[in-house]
Amino acid sequence: MIPFEEQFAAYRQQHFGFVDRLIYREKAEILDLFPESELAAEVVRDLEALANASGLKRKLTDFILKNIRAQVAGSVSVIEVCGGSCWLLRSVTSQVDHGKFHIHAVGSDLSQRHIETNTTAFRHMNIEWLVADATNLLFSNLKFDIALNCQALHHFPVGIVIKLLRELKRISKKVIIFDLRRTFYGPALVQSLSPFYSSSIISDGVASHRRAYSIQEMEFIIRIADLPYKVTPFTPVGMLVESI
């Protein structure tokens, strides 16, 4: 069998158009290079501020709550992986109807620093914090009702993306992932925000938009790995990857 990475490289070579070649750049970000640094912590804080200001937090939270409400009243278990500050999980946890649902929430990240910060800053919230590798989670099959991941896939090569998608499907009944998708206007959109945010988040944001997968590329990844997921546009620069 041809390795997934080689299949994907061949697909890109065949399908990369003029705009793709103009926009695409593979550049490591602060969160990749220095995940335990103060600069990385600054990026994580600014990502949450930007999600608030752009309406992304509200839009994603509403979508996830709709999935939760579709379940029978009672207990619901939710995990977020590669979460940083886990702003999405915290938003969902704070807005779920606690009169109808008892929510068991787990927030995880590979960074010890982020998890220690969350444990202190959000100790008032009923969330279990965990340092964890999202491709090798120590949970039983179908442990959770919903698994979340936000703005992380573009950090990983195709082999890791496939491992992560498989692992989240293994541990949960429903997987909801949001990530950026590569567009010709994404980098310029981030650059226009430079008067309002730190240079670190602008630099990482531009890099994220340039290296992000397109919808067609994500669909190809799902197809070659035979994964039970679908991909749909979500926001002008984002996409949802959902289990089916």
Q: What is the pLDDT of residue 101?
A: 86
Question: Which of 157, 113, 112 shows the shortest CA–CA distance to 135?
Answer: 157
Where in the chain are the domains?
4-243
Distance CA 40, CA 120 (A): 18
The rounded radius of gyration (Å) of the Cα atoms in the chain is 18
The predicted model gives 64-69 an average pLDDT of 93
- Does residue 2 register a pLDDT over 80? yes
Q: Which residues contact 104 (CB under 8 A, 6 or more apart)?
A: 75, 76, 77, 78, 128
| Residue 50, CA atoms < 13 Å, CB-side half-sphere | 20
Q: What is the pLDDT of residues 174-195, one digit of tens each?
A: 999 999 999 999 999 999 999 9
What residues are paired with 129 via a beta bridge? Answer: 107
Percent of the chain whose predicted confidence (pLDDT) is above 90: 94
Q: What is the pLDDT of residues 95-147, one digit of tens each?
A: 988 788 889 999 999 999 999 999 999 999 999 999 999 999 999 999 999 99
The predicted model gives 225-234 an average pLDDT of 98
Dihedral of CA atoms 227, 96, 77, 125 in degrees, nearest 10, equals 120
Class for the domain spanning 4-243: alpha beta
Other Cβ atoms within 10 Å of 185 Cβ, number: 12
pTM here is 0.96
Q: Which residues contact 28 (CB under 8 A, 6 or more apart)?
A: 207
In whole angstroms, what separates CA 222 from the centre of its chain? Answer: 16
Q: What is the pLDDT of residues 12-36, one digit of tens each?
A: 999 999 999 999 999 999 999 999 9
- Does residue 71 register a pLDDT over 80? no
Distance CA 146, CA 216 (A): 25
